[in-house]
Amino acid sequence: MSIKYHQGFSMIEILVALVILAIGLLGMATLMINSLQTNQSAAMRSTATLAAYDLVERMRSNADEQVLETTIYSTGGVQGVEYLATGAPDNCNEKSAADLAVCDRQIWAKALNDVLPDAMAIVKFEGTVTTGGLTENRLWCIGIFWKDTGGQDVSDKDDKACGETATSTDKKPWAFYEVKVLL
């Protein structure tokens, strides 16, 4: 009797190889999805940073209004940008510093709403700071909140910007960016 040798793979070996390949592909897909979500979160944080510094420059250019104790720039708490952007004028050729401040805040809020999902903001005067005994600067805090769909969950962390917390009824985590500047 002669012994026959079979060449090739058995069906079980092929199925095991397919299972291992499928697990590897699922792992790669998960890594790609996490990478895309993290990149989206980083892009939103960069957008919030640019928006905050845009408002800082608007305030810096309107020094007559931002030096007032009860300035129009201040929001008085976390506000939805829909509230901040109501009644925006058609043009910003206003004559007074207060009118320009209203226009700046409204245009800024509309732009913020266009680029960040469910954005909220706070602009808060935190006091004066004397540097070198000669100059008195005003300390401002600008906080921007938005719904972060791609980043890490910040709901159980200290999610306060300028001492305020954004609240919502849904379970999406809030992300925020805070900047403090001397003007």
Element (H or E) spanning 39, and its range?
helix 11-61
**Residue 82: its pLDDT value, please?**
58
pLDDT tens digits for range 47-97: 999 999 998 998 888 877 766 656 677 766 566 665 665 555 556 676 778
**Among 118, 163, 179, residue whose Cα is nearest residue 145:** 118
Alpha carbons within 13 angstroms on the beta-carbon side of residue 100 total 15
Phi, psi of 41 (to 5 degrees): -65, -40
Which of 7-16, 41-50, 58-67 is predicted with the least confidence, judged by mean pLDDT? 58-67
Domains of the chain, by residue range, sit at: 11-182
> In terms of pLDDT, which residue wins out, 97 or 12?
12
Which of 11-15, 46-50, 82-86, 133-137 is predicted with the least confidence, judged by mean pLDDT? 82-86
Average pLDDT, the chain: 78
**Residue 60: its pLDDT value, please?**
86
Bridge partners of 136? 130
**Average pLDDT for 125-138:** 74
**Residue 15: its pLDDT value, please?**
92
Phi, psi of 145 (to 5 degrees): -110, 145
Report residue 53 as tokens.
Answer: 């510094």
**Residue 117: its pLDDT value, please?**
79
